[in-house]
Structure 1
Amino acid sequence: MAPKRVVIVGGGFAGFETARSLLRARTPEDDIEIVLVNPTDYFLYLPLLPEVAAAVIDPRRVTVSLPAALPGVRLALGSVHTIDLDGRAVTFTDPEGRDHELGYDRLVLAAGSVNKLLPIPGIAEHAHGFRGVPEALYLRDHIIRQIELAASTDDLAEREARCTFVVVGAGYTGTEVAAQGPLFTTAIAALHPVLRDQKIRWLLLDIAPRVLPELNPRLSKTADKVLRARGVEVRMGDTVEEATADGVKLKSGDVVPTRSLVWCVGVRPDPVVESVGLPTQKGRLIVESTLVVPGHPEVFACGDVAAVPDLTRPGECTAMTAQHASRQGKLAGRNVLASLTGRKLGRYKHHDLGFVVDLGGKQAAANPLKIPLGGFPAKVVTRGYHLVAMPGNRVRTAVDWLLDTVIGRQSVQLGLVRAPQVPLDTDTPEVPHLPDRPVRQ
């Protein structure tokens, strides 16, 4: 008899924990093959991505090798684009463009989320996304380049535009990027005497009435105070109406010359959900509290792609957070094994333990166990939480934090923005430039 195959789509918080939970729960007698389909060979710890963009920690700290962390799990590199529920098979495309088909006995959909784009002219062409390591490194290079180009020009209008950075979205990610930004650009500008008296502007925009609307007003006020103390122009009730290569036009009518627009408006479930053809709620697959897709006992869904009933708040679904995704993944792994061995499935019920928001420097906002904290105590809680929650690289991350405190951050470009193509023939006298997206200098 061939082993039962469990295919997990996605290696984020939900998918990673599903695989790890299933590995830990199975016994030698359980003849199960676990296959994890993911575009990369690593798990990405998203909450620390703003610190990568601000050069506080090395990008390798937020990436954990899936083969190393999940021994015994077969990794299939690629992106799933078709799911055949009747044939019990998924089709994915590998990094080299080849299609592969995987049959399954149990399927776990945990593909996560992607950037949410709004129909605003110029956004797709001129905004920087912020959902992965390449985007974080690209943004890091872009910010450094803008400061260095500002220092090299005598055109005061151009210098001001290059020293202006606009962040759209005052949720967790946008707030952390806007909080880290001034510390980063100040450190870079200090290396250029010509920018000694140059004002560096950071703007945070959102149509919401306050920063971090998901948190209670006290923590929102704490974050707002930190942002304003760093010189961030917090503009609630305002957003981008149009983006161009030279600036943005705001809903309020103001025109802000800038070369930097960071898009942190929000996320939506991965488009693979649409290909399944099953009922959804706000783009998320409807599932039972056991994480089973109704009518398909062999299919489970968890994390951002699943509308999981919140048993602690009847009538609502769990939020799209890493906290829920991780815990749902753990249950999904146990329930998959239970479904294969004829045992009873558990139901998902979890009370929020609070949230943490790192505001850079010695500042943070947190509410562990519903206790609101700000300043340095919140910073200790925030970093402690991250070290516990990370599935790897804890010591290296802590060392990077220590080095940032003692000797500061590095401020060199890695050649990711409008860099010339590196030819095989290094003697080639002229190398064409490959324009990136957005096309800016």
Structure 2
Amino acid sequence: MGLYTALRLQKKLRANEASVTIVDPQPHMTYQPFLPEAAAGAIEPRHVTVPLRKTLDRCHVRTARVTSVDPDAKLVTIETDGGSTEQLGYDMLVVALGAVTRLLPIPGLAEHGIGLKTIGEAVYLRNHVLSRMDLAASTNDPELRRKLLTFTVMGGGFAGVEALGELEDMTRAALKYYPTIKPEDVRWVLVEAASRILPEVRESLGVYTVDKLRARGIEVFLDTRAESVQGGVVKLSDGSEFASDTIIWTAGVTANPVLAKSGLPLDQRRRVVANAAMQVEGQEGVVWAAGDCAAVPDLSRTDDDPNATCPPNAQHAVRQAKHLAANILAVLRGKPATVYVHKNVGAVASLGLHKGVADVYNTKAKGYLAWAMHRAYHVAKMPTFNRKVRILFDWVGSGLLGREAVSMVHVAEPRATDAAEVQNMLPRKAFADQNS
């Protein structure tokens, strides 16, 4: 969200009209809809990131995290990884901190859960899943083998279903290199607390998706909550219990916690309260907010629900960024800001290679067509021509040559002597601090 706004301002600002500074703890922006494919090896992980300094060459980029905001003094406090702090003044502030994984108080989740919100988590997850197959192929202990080959995904939204579909495809394709592992030995489980999955599409497509997943041998638990995952043992609310050495947590997001220290007005979900022009209440024309961390009225739905706000998805974030940049330019040039109005055109989701569902302009699609629509839409929205081309080449390469089924766990700990030692050295908690 922040990169899209800065990129447009960079293109539209006149010489010496304004100076734009970007503050982000990472030197890149991550296009999150491609994380499942990066985790499954269909796309090179670096290609789903956009380097800030290269892309925003007319902006000032600070690699640091925001620790607090003082809207009265117009100051932002930032801190680098080295521990140094600094205060930055501003004339206008865009709050685009995004969202972080919502971690529920489930026993064992913080220690054993693996999120999928950052490129680091995607790489970790890919290496972890393949290393489980390596270890399972090298043991004769049936209970340990069963635990290693049981992969659990918690959360039936886009992130969970797409991660499940891509990773299950990857493990099934990798089986040709593991003659001692049979397809029926690999167990994938999806757990969803609601009565359906993919709430962003019509219910019939959610039912279709469940049927297709089950046809692939994937177990789907609906209306079921995780009660505990301590010790790698998953206990569900329906009484089911099984051992799983891989627990992928994608059950929702929450606004970035740094907003609690911002002094800005927040709603019940801790998002910044903004008007339809994306101006923060009480700070009109000075502080702006958009994307996953902002409660922006959804004017396309307020007739039915006066309190409706834009959902936290890529579709709204990209369009809000474009509109927000235009509003900032207008205010700089003495013109009024305009309201953001966008009617949701639908949603697309990948269920793995050549499989997907789509609900676009009240028209539904399934299978190969929906999968192609998913790829076409997201590569079109990927920032910069450079990244679009790289992703297209990745798809062609993986399509012609197949995905590389090799774990590189030593990348994180190059001095470790074997894969088991690496896994012991790595933190099982993979939820990253995503202040961006």
- The aligned counterpart of 1:5 is none
- The aligned counterpart of 2:425 is 435
- The aligned counterpart of 1:300 is 288
Contact 1:308 1:317 in 2 (8 A): yes
Deviation at 1:188, TM superposition (A): 2.3
Identity of aligned residues (%): 35
Query: Within 2, Cα distance between the matches of 1:21 and 1:398?
Result: 24
Match of 1:231 among 217, 230, 234: 217
Unaligned runs of 5+ in 2: 431-436
Q: Is 1:17 matched up with 2:17?
A: no
Letter in 2 for 1:166: T
Match of 2:366 among 362, 374, 382: 374
Q: Is 1:351 matched up with 2:343?
A: yes
- The aligned counterpart of 2:433 is none
Query: Within 2, Cα distance between the matches of 1:158 and 1:259?
Result: 9
Q: Which moved more, 1:344-353 or 1:67-76?
A: 67-76
Query: Within 2, Cα distance between the matches of 1:257 and 1:346?
Result: 54
Match of 1:35 among 10, 21, 26: 21
> TM-score, normalised to structure 2's length?
0.92
User: In the TM superposition, what whole-angstrom CA distance separates every residue of 1:97-122 from its partner, at most 9, and x where no partner exists?
Assistant: 22121110000000100000111111
Match of 2:119 among 106, 109, 133: 133
Contact 1:141 1:417 in 2 (8 A): no
Match of 1:389 among 378, 381, 388: 381
User: In the TM superposition, what whole-angstrom CA distance separates every residue of 1:287-324 from its partner, at most 9, and x where no partner exists?
Assistant: 11111111112111111111001111111111011111
Contact 2:68 2:261 in 1 (8 A): yes
Contact 1:418 1:434 in 2 (8 A): no
- The aligned counterpart of 1:426 is none
- The aligned counterpart of 1:427 is none
3-state SS of 2:425 partner: coil
Q: Is 1:209 matched up with 2:209?
A: no
For 1:19-418, what aligned pairs fall within 5 Å after superposition?
19-28=6-15, 31-196=17-182, 198-281=184-267, 282-297=269-284, 298-314=286-302, 315=306, 316-392=308-384, 393-415=387-409
3-state SS of 1:296 partner: coil
Q: Which moved more, 1:214-223 or 1:59-68?
A: 214-223
Deviation at 1:46, TM superposition (A): 0.5
Contact 1:182 1:230 in 2 (8 A): no
User: In the TM superposition, what whole-angstrom CA distance separates every residue of 1:270-302 from its partner, at most 9, and x where no partner exists?
Assistant: 112111233322211111111111111211111
Change (3 A) 1:82 1:256: same
Deviation at 1:418, TM superposition (A): 7.7
Query: Within 1, Cα distance between the matches of 2:423 and 2:190?
Result: 32
Letter in 2 for 1:20: L
User: In the TM superposition, what whole-angstrom CA distance separates every residue of 1:377-415 from its partner, at most 9, and x where no partner exists?
Assistant: 112211111121111311221121122222210011222
Query: Within 1, Cα distance between the matches of 2:93 and 2:264?
Result: 14
Deviation at 1:365, TM superposition (A): 0.8
Deviation at 1:355, TM superposition (A): 1.0
Deviation at 1:338, TM superposition (A): 2.0
Contact 1:309 1:318 in 2 (8 A): yes
Query: Within 1, Cα distance between the matches of 2:55 and 2:358?
Result: 29
3-state SS of 1:355 partner: strand
Deviation at 1:85, TM superposition (A): 1.1
Deviation at 1:417, TM superposition (A): 8.1
3-state SS of 2:318 partner: helix
Query: Within 1, Cα distance between the matches of 2:196 and 2:410?
Result: 34
Query: Within 2, Cα distance between the matches of 1:26 and 1:221?
Result: 48
Letter in 1 for 2:341: K
Change (3 A) 1:439 1:87: closer
Query: Within 1, Cα distance between the matches of 2:90 and 2:371?
Result: 44
Structure with larger RCO (C-alpha < 8 A, sep 6+) = 2
Query: Within 1, Cα distance between the matches of 2:202 and 2:188?
Result: 24
Contact 2:22 2:60 in 1 (8 A): yes
Change (3 A) 1:376 1:197: closer
Letter in 2 for 1:112: G
CA RMSD of aligned residues (A): 2.0
Contact 1:178 1:227 in 2 (8 A): no
> TM-score, normalised to structure 1's length?
0.91
User: In the TM superposition, what whole-angstrom CA distance separates every residue of 1:38-78 from its partner, at most 9, and x where no partner exists?
Assistant: 11111211001001111111101101112222220111111
Contact 1:109 1:301 in 2 (8 A): yes
User: In the TM superposition, what whole-angstrom CA distance separates every residue of 1:148-186 from its partner, at most 9, and x where no partner exists?
Assistant: 100000011111111100000000000011111221112
Deviation at 1:416, TM superposition (A): 5.2
Deviation at 1:27, TM superposition (A): 1.9
Contact 2:23 2:64 in 1 (8 A): yes
Contact 1:366 1:378 in 2 (8 A): yes
- The aligned counterpart of 1:9 is none
Letter in 1 for 2:368: F
